[in-house]
Amino acid sequence: MMEVGGNGGGLPINNKQRVMLPNKSRGEFPRNSRKDSEGLSESPDFEFEYSDTDKWAAELSELYSYTEGPEFALNRKCFEDEFRAHVTDKKWTELDAAEHRAHAMRLLDGLEVIAREKRLKVARAILYMAQGTFGDCSSEAEVQHWMRYNIFLLLDVGTFSALVELLNMEIDNSAACSSAVRKPAISLADSTDLRVLLNIMYLIVETIQQDDPANKPEWKILRETFRAELGSPLFNNEPISVMLFGMVTKFCSGHAPHFPMKKVLLLLWKSILFTLGGFEQLQSIKVCKREELGLPPLPEDSIRVIRSMRAASPPASASDLIEQQQKRARREHKALIKQDNLDAFNEKDPYKADDSRDDEDDNDDNDNSLEPETFPIERDEVMPPPIPHPPSERVSFPKGLPWAPKVREKDIETFLESSRSKFIGYTLGSDTDTVVGLPRPIHESIRTLKQHKYVSIAELQIAKEEEYQKTPLSVGEEEVEMCATELLYQGILPSLPQYMIALLKILLAAAPTSKAKTDSINILADVLPEEMPTTVLQSMKLGVDVNRHKEIIVKAISAILLLLLKHFKLNHIYQFEYMAQHLVFANCIPLILKFFNQNIMSYITAKNSISVLDFPNCVVHELPELTAESLEAGDNTQFCWRNLFSCINLLRILNKLTKWKHSRTMMLVVFKSAPILKRALKVKQAMMQLYVLKLLKVQTKYLGRQWRKSNMKTMSAIYQKVRHRLNDDWAYGNDLDARPWDFQAEECALRASIERFNSRRYDKSHSNPDFLPVDNCLQSVLGQRVDLPEDFQMNYDLWLEREVFSKPISWEELLQ
């Protein structure tokens, strides 16, 4: 059984919550009936542009489950009751700025009342404002306009700080926690107060982090101030993200099963994204940091290169292969009619080798799916002998490789060491400049390697840390820049292992491949209604809602983990390694592989959404009557953006965890990831294919000659799309790194380095006393105030008698 951090993950549904949900169609591999001459399925490329988030409207709609639909009207009623008590004859949209501000201040004062019911009504009224006062709007664009205006107004009057205080009160509400723990079935009603507060906070963060060029100058100032406050320990002496991480661990420990985990994770994701920055900001920070450290600029902009890449053709489906085999059988049957035809065919058959290779593809190691790789670069299908095609017509070589090759300093050292051993008979250690006695071709090789040498920021950080450890006195105190990433790391450092385990537990419970188990956590507390559905239509709607709920949780967790890994790696390599190691220890690698061990094409083309029920559509337009057929059909989109986004994020996380780690690469081999990853190549999206091919490349040398021989088309695709490391014979298995798998030694050495770093930089209480400065001035030592305990002061006379008067003092010796 799969476990995360030692405990099982999955999804329990109580008997009272158990409901028969119909098996909703999740889409098929988009396939045209026409096949080309090479037997490929004509599937269209996915027009998917990877970004930090989906469109703003989509991100807003995913905050609410469809079960929460009736609460929109309730929020409006609460607002209008408050509004009509003070303004009788006007709409909200007709008031001027001063009246808007005055009413917002009145609502903020209402949050401080003691009565819980009254406070909830005021919070709902504020939520209605944050939702754009949709009752006065006639279009979605108008709702979004008033959302921006109202949210900047609410932020300006200080609403967010008040919400954080209320959220802290709800987190510490022991009565609600104990009530939820005792309940046999938790539903939407158990988390009402928390959901309202989290909804407002999410809408504020999500709206303000959208950098709109049309923002007013005062809004831009307000935005930057809010970003700084959100990332600094102003709220409860810790960044807001640390408080939300605490909610996640409390939920996973079972002490607060009523927490609406989807909303917590979405708010956590957007808080990290807003305070630390997205992928574009990461790239610009990296460029600036390399410039500061005196490193050469990056060889290319990786975001731009990936966006310009095109997808390769996916593997053929099983039906295509069967049809292909039948055609081949019919041709052989016709050839058997005349013996002389058969003899002629056997004497000179230029396509025989291709047949055998296709058979080997079908019998792929560890892969029982009939899916040979069919990338067009190296495709030679069996064709009728009378129509020969020259190779130039069948092979289309790429114009150029997308990535500039890179070489590490270690690779140059290894190359020189082997060359010196071969030609001279001795080595010079890490000297990469002396080339005396080596032949001229070796000189040229070294020159080429040095031209493509790439020094990463991480290498410099590791070298600097070694210097701090070896010579702490001469190097001096390290100046740590207190950026948002550093503040967040310091905040989560004490409990980081628990946070990682909690996130992976929830990810396991939300994965579509997970089975419900009795000891696993229930992530459906904020989606299940109080009364279970009684009709087929209600059951279908709830089924869509539950699947959508899980998909959004996977999306949020995958984005959180990837953002943290990337930002920590840029801030300091050992911060990244600390988080990555705890993810590995919590079984993150097999968990992600388990996630991909499904029909990934069906997951990406899933239609678990009902567009007419999405916000703000559902509050602006009249809702049409829902039918079982309309729910079954879903929308007409080609793919599900959030699911493709999640898959790419998980693949990127897997790449981050395994890159340059031999022991973790061997875990990929041991867990038989190659056939799972090969099936993921079906998705015709260039970025996803790139990260799949990267993961296949690092383990190719360990998969054996037969695997490589059977998957030459995958090898060809790796060559075309993945960056080349000069001197890296990834395709042949002759590397020095192909040594026995010693997981424990490698991870222990890394762990020791991480602990030394954390202890030196963050644990001031255990610093070495020998390295502390000593005060030698008599006046300053005697002038220091010393706090003496009470019992000492009471017995001072006894102490003087015992320690001073009764002991003989040799004044002569003391004066000398």
Structure confidence by residue, pLDDT tens digits, 708-738: 989 999 999 999 999 998 888 888 766 545 4
665, 698 contact by CB (below 8 A): yes
Whether 514 and 624 map to the same domain: the answer is: yes
What is the DSSP code (8-state) at residue 386? T
**In-domain check, residue 529:** no
The verdict on residue 787 lying in a domain is no
Q: Check whether residue 257 and residue 177 sit in a common domain.
A: yes
| Same domain, yes or no: 546 and 422 | no
Q: Are residues 82 and 108 in contact, defined by beta-carbon separation less than 8 angstroms?
A: no
Same domain, 140 and 218: yes
CA distance 501 to 507: 10
Q: What is the pLDDT of residue 74?
A: 94
What's the pLDDT at 516?
64
Q: Does residue 464 lie in a domain region?
A: no
Average pLDDT, the chain: 81
Q: What is the DSSP code (8-state) at residue 348?
A: S
Summarised one tens digit per residue, pLDDT across range 470-488 is 988 888 788 899 999 999 9
The H or E element containing residue 650 is: helix 641-658
Same domain membership, residue 200 and residue 75: yes
Res. 28: pLDDT tops 50 = no
For residue 633, the model assigns a pLDDT of: 64
User: Position 393: which residue type?
Assistant: E
Please compute the mean of the pLDDT values over residues 297-320 and round it to a whole number.
Answer: 77
In percent, how much of the chain has pLDDT > 70? 80
Which whole number is the average pLDDT over 384-397? Answer: 40
Question: Domain check: are 65 and 165 in the same one?
Answer: yes
Coil, strand or helix: which one is 407?
strand
Query: H helices within 729-777, ranges in order?
Result: 743-762
Does residue 259 lie within any of the structural domains?
Answer: yes
Query: pLDDT at residue 378 above 50?
Result: no
Give the list of residues 6+ apart from residue 102 with CB closer than 8 angstroms, or none.
none
621 located within any domain: yes
Instruction: Give the closest residue to 212 by CA, choosing from 300, 148, 265, 129.
Output: 148
Same domain membership, residue 224 and residue 86: yes
- Report pLDDT digits (tens) over 32-49: 333 333 333 445 688 899
Q: Do residues 207 and 125 both lie within one domain?
A: yes
What integer is the mean pLDDT of 563-569? 97
Domain co-membership, 422 together with 547 = no
* Three-state helix/strand/coil letters over 495-530: HHHHHHHHHHHHHHHHCCCCCCCCCCCCCCCCCCCC
Instruction: Indicate whether 547 and 677 sit together in one domain.
Output: yes
Measure the CA–CA gap between 584 and 659, rounded to whole angstroms: 13
Rounded CA separation 745/694 (Å):
25
Number of domains within the chain: 3
| Mean pLDDT value of segment 273-286 | 94
The mean pLDDT value for 669-693 works out to: 94
Considering 17-21, 327-331, 389-393, the range whose residues carry the highest mean pLDDT is 327-331
Report percent pLDDT > 90 for the chain.
Answer: 46
Would you say residue 760 lies in a domain? no
- Of the candidates 452, 473, 503, which is a domain's last residue? 452
pLDDT of residue 787: 81
Domain boundary among 274, 296, 319: 274
Quick one: pLDDT at residue 768?
63
Ranges of beta strands (E only) in 553-679 are: none
Residue 252: pLDDT band (50, 70, 90) is very high
Query: CA-CA distance, 147 to 130, in Å (whole number)?
Result: 6
pLDDT in tens, 69-98: 889 999 999 998 888 877 667 888 888 899
> Higher pLDDT residue, 337 or 758?
758
**pLDDT confidence bin for 664, thresholds 50/70/90:** very high
Per-residue pLDDT band for 181 (boundaries 50, 70, 90) equals confident
Could you tell me if residue 603 is inside a domain? yes
Note whether residue 476 is domain-resident: no
Backbone angles phi, psi at 7, to 5 degrees: -120, 150
State which residues form the domain around 232.
56-274
Segment among 113-122, 351-360, 429-438, 674-683 with least mean pLDDT: 351-360
Q: Which residue would you say has higher pLDDT here, 363 or 495? A: 495
pLDDT of residue 243: 94
* Mean pLDDT in residue range 579-606: 95
Within this chain, do residues 414 and 502 fall inside the same structural domain, yes or no?
A: no
Together in a domain, 568 and 442: no
Q: What pLDDT does residue 325 have? A: 66
Average pLDDT over residues 286-315: 87
For residue 754, what pLDDT band results from cuts at 50, 70 and 90?
very high
C-alpha–C-alpha distance, residues 688 and 223, integer Å: 34
